[in-house]
Amino acid sequence: MATVKNFLSKPPSSLLPKINVLSSVFSSSLSFTKPRPLMMKLETSRSTNSSTVKATAAPSKTKKAESDERVKRVHSIEEFDEALRTAKNKLVVVEFGASDSIDSKTIYPFMVDLSRQCSDVEFLLVMGDESEKTKELCQRENIDQVPHFSFYKNMEKIHEEEGIGPDMLMGDVLYYGDNHSAVVQLHSGDDVERLIQDHKADHKLIVLDVGLKHCGPCVKVYPTVIKLSRQMTDTVVFARMNGDENVSCMKFLKEMDVVEVPTFLFIRDGEICGRYVGSGKGELIGEILRYQGVRVTY
């Protein structure tokens, strides 16, 4: 879990969207550790012949490297900036790799699989040692180790990760690019009130996932939230709020006495009937069933 230390006002970091909101200082007391495969320093390859370039993208079917499914290969700063500009407010996921990085080749097929599943997300591949142009791009984006994943929206970097595995990559893509699931996205305390009013009559249980933008455990549990939202549409409404999105969301966290994230608030008939703090998938499912009146034994 991540602990909310305080709500001090401070300028947003370079990784956060440039919005004029009250931000806060957070520390992590996580029971979640992301995989750390061996990473390598990024260097420019002396050889840029066709065999070197083809070998970088994927261990098989290398002829598809230029446009493998929906993953677009970019070769310069100009192409990169144009791809971000064209994507507009879509999430753009970029893998920065290298031709002699085993880890880059290993994670790439999983990114291709995600590109098939997430049609509302754009995927880019940059091979840092392909040429001087790609090296310049990596230097501009402060990439010195690969594989490195950066996430952009509206041409702004909103998140980045190094040394992650397939599960974490999937979690990041769903968490930062979720525009199509049954999870209701809330952006203010007023949104919460409207959602509660909308479901007073049908007596559905509302499960409100409260997290932070750069919270590892929040990302980790979110795929489970999406899956449950699709399986329980008849009886449960799932919603999500990032507490550090703006002042209204931060105020809601304080009013609800949320000090650790992720926190799941359970609301029925306009009243908060309970909460679960943590990222355990089994525990979350058990709590949801319990508040639906299902007897759960552990």
Catalytic residue ranges: 215, 218
- 148: its two tokens: 């490195």
Long-range contacts of 284-291 (CB under 8 A, 24+ apart): 284/221, 284/224, 284/225, 284/228, 285/224, 285/228, 288/205, 288/207, 288/228, 288/232, 288/236, 291/205, 291/266
Nearest to 34 by CA among 182, 187, 220: 220
User: Which DSSP category does 11 fall into?
Assistant: P
Task: Count other Cβ atoms within 10 Å, centred on residue 22.
Answer: 15
Helix, strand, coil percentages (3-state) for the chain, rounded to 5, are 35, 25, 40
Question: Following CA atoms 6, 11, 14, 20 in sequence, which dihedral angle do they give, to the nearest 10 degrees?
Answer: 100
d(CA 281, CA 211): 15
- 21: its two tokens: 């909101």
- 77: its two tokens: 């700063």
- Would you say 25 and 5 are in contact if contact means Cβ atoms under 8 Å apart? yes
User: Which DSSP category does 154 fall into?
Assistant: T
User: Which DSSP category does 234 fall into?
Assistant: T
d(CA 241, CA 229): 15
